Structure 1
């Protein structure tokens, strides 16, 4: 294999190793010794490892080969009795020496690779962490968390190995232990654990059990109320993960007194788009779980906040906001708040056929609930919907097609709107519906 010089370096054709030596008459090319090249990628090996068959590969290449489901040696085609990869330090040092010798040609010396963490090492770390937890030794626990965090940052392989060997469950059990003992005294270690488990989604069943306990949820509720932005942000991410995985966590969270106010605060005083989305998801699961929570969030002023968000929200936030608003409009208190805001109907109609199919479904449902259940003498919701152009948009939606549940609501909504077509001065509905009876 040849390493090209300046032109190919400039064009980025040769991965990793580009020689740039040029003399007055010609460009020189450098030969990579065959035993320095990975048999799979044919590139210079950066982290040579040897398999049970005695063949050496670059670690990254052979890992991808094994992860793809292959159980044989690529060169010999022998069955792999073990997938253990033994670092070939001899070849690695030879490659590094070769790079140094050819440094004048622009070849950089490959760095000595860090040895990936092994399952045995992870098990040993977790064993020490559990022992420190039982002793209540926060300093040792914090040091171990920092080490785990550092290893996870080194490579995706380390991260996968750490997660695959039960780390999240151990950390979650520790979180529950310290939360049960004293949230105030153990706040620092609790915060550190929570920050680290946000890197370990999705949670396994054991982690869910510990993080979804009453003590853990109470701790997270207090963290949501704190003034620390990082603490609040990590907490809402963990809660989102929990409630999206099992309905029992939704009911458990709903039993925690005082959780509504900090959730609304995250909407009113957003930390970042990620936290806002997570907050909306948690709220959605809560308002979907009971009429009581629909009313509670409505009384907390959430409807007004949601409408303000919808005015200029990007797609993902818009969809989640509409989902929450649709659920809240399923309660008398929610509709009352929606009716009292002058932008509710105009904003909902504006989102029809404009954001996404999912957003349109939620918007149709919300408008349908508001129009169908409007008990006011002037039937203001229907008139506002007509003036905002809902009739044309709903008609178009039915023509282009939509989900069955949305089609049913759209059809009923169109019937209601049709009764008020003549009362809306700004709508010229002639020939829009072609006389189709309702």
Structure 2
């Protein structure tokens, strides 16, 4: 089953999700043509005619035709009729499901958790196996439906069935790179839905926490959800939950995911002070200290520390918790991560901030072998910025030591 030519947007070449027509008579997907216009183009992409009017008129006729085609598509229905191997859902696995039936089952309050889980598996398979399937699920609003399913009330009831919640989040994250994320704004700005997010972050199992952290990262890095990212980043409950997840010693993937989420939220400057007050600096220090080997997200953890120390409140907080263990961890990371990323640069930046304010920190850094690490780094193939900061730290240590010698 292929997408008819007339149902494809001339810009994205994907199935129309929100067809709109320009004054030239050409139809485009709203998201694609809006992006075209926002980039400063004042011509029709197909005809190259000058646009005397940029009004976008919804093409309801085309949208209706696409919806009918999607719902009647025999190729899709054949895919949906196939039961999952090993499914124990009985008659539900043998039902001749249509997309409309799938939606009804997910929306139904009387449907069992097992039947909904079966539907979610079919939805996930359809998304992964077929371009047309992906277009269908987007067009028919399954992303919004999944949001409502995940953040429904009462949340504790869904938390009792963690497999269903895991599947729902898995589908949601699979959808998110290809969908407009505006519907997240409509759902998570509601107090009761937001409370569900906080509950799942604090009480969900490892898979649920990882998925939610990835969702928060997506929200923080998407232009259409920046206001929501600020709301989330300003929540003390969310930040405390993420800091708590950072301290997971049993599952490295969970703590790595928390670093990614905090990094995303702290990319917005307005969220940084709340992150500091929520214990992010202490949590990141523990994250970096809780392993004898490199963690996947260590460079990002160092990057967050670096940006939080740009604030005076961050420097004061770090000074309160600084100890020789932290200095050793930072020194260890100088050369450990230099070959693959910018982790070295951030580790040096943090040491510069600490050593510039404290003679104790300078002494501990020297005792931990920082000079040797910096000299090795300068001779390596790391970035020029990392080398510049390494030289700056060496100069700082040398100048401070000379002053001490003169006093003696």
- Give yes or no for TM over 0.5: yes
Cα distance change, pair 244–354 in 1 and its aligned pair in 2 (3 A): same
Q: Please give the secondary structure, in 1, of the residue aligned with 2:335.
A: coil
Cα distance change, pair 211–414 in 1 and its aligned pair in 2 (3 A): farther
| 216, 232, 235: which one aligns with 2:212 | 235
Partner of 1:41: none
Report the count of equivalent residues. Answer: 304
Partner of 1:431: none
> Alpha-carbon deviations, 1:212-233, whole Å to 9, x = none?
7324544222111215444334
- Structural mapping, 1:224-373, within 5 Å: 224-246=201-223, 248=226, 249-270=228-249, 272-289=251-268, 290-298=271-279, 301-309=282-290, 311-339=291-319, 340-356=322-338, 357-372=341-356
Point out where structure 1 has 5 or more consecutive residues left out of the alignment. 1-116, 426-438
Q: CA RMSD in A?
A: 3.9
CA distance in 2, matches of 1:241, 1:321: 18
Which of structures 1 and 2 has the bigger CA Rg? 1
CA distance in 1, matches of 2:245, 2:309: 21
| 148, 171, 191: which one aligns with 1:177 | 148
Counterpart check, 1:128 vs 2:101: yes
CA distance in 2, matches of 1:150, 1:175: 14
Partner of 2:55: none
Q: Is the 8 A contact 1:119 1:162 kept in 2?
A: yes
Counterpart check, 1:389 vs 2:358: no
- TM-score w.r.t. length of structure 1: 0.57
Q: Is the 8 A contact 1:349 1:389 kept in 2?
A: yes
Cα distance change, pair 350–303 in 1 and its aligned pair in 2 (3 A): same
- Structural mapping, 1:60-209, within 5 Å: 118-119=75-76, 125-132=98-105, 136-137=108-109, 139=111, 143-150=115-122, 152=124, 157=129, 162-167=133-138, 170-178=141-149, 179=151, 182-184=154-156, 188=161, 192-200=167-175, 202-206=177-181, 209=184
Q: Is the 8 A contact 1:348 1:363 kept in 2?
A: yes
Deviation at 1:238, TM superposition (A): 2.6
CA distance in 2, matches of 1:280, 1:364: 19
Q: Is the 8 A contact 1:268 1:305 kept in 2?
A: yes
- TM-score w.r.t. length of structure 2: 0.61
- Structural mapping, 1:39-58, within 5 Å: none
Cα distance change, pair 199–219 in 1 and its aligned pair in 2 (3 A): same
Cα distance change, pair 154–209 in 1 and its aligned pair in 2 (3 A): closer
Cα distance change, pair 155–197 in 1 and its aligned pair in 2 (3 A): closer
CA distance in 2, matches of 1:371, 1:343: 15
CA distance in 2, matches of 1:120, 1:424: 80
> Alpha-carbon deviations, 1:321-358, whole Å to 9, x = none?
32233333334444445443221122111221222342
Q: Please give the secondary structure, in 2, of the residue aligned with 1:165.
A: helix
CA distance in 2, matches of 1:155, 1:173: 15
CA distance in 2, matches of 1:118, 1:157: 12
The higher relative CO (CA closer than 8 Å, separation ≥ 6) is in 2
CA distance in 2, matches of 1:397, 1:194: 42
Q: Is the 8 A contact 2:246 2:284 kept in 1?
A: no
Partner of 1:86: none
Q: Which structure has more helix as a fraction of its residues?
A: 2
Q: Please give the secondary structure, in 1, of the residue aligned with 2:297.
A: helix
CA distance in 1, matches of 2:368, 2:210: 37
Point out where structure 2 has 5 or more consecutive residues left out of the alignment. 1-73, 81-96
Cα distance change, pair 242–208 in 1 and its aligned pair in 2 (3 A): farther
Counterpart check, 1:403 vs 2:378: no
Q: Is the 8 A contact 1:264 1:302 kept in 2?
A: yes
| 380, 401, 418: which one aligns with 2:398 | 418
Cα distance change, pair 169–268 in 1 and its aligned pair in 2 (3 A): farther
CA distance in 2, matches of 1:424, 1:402: 32
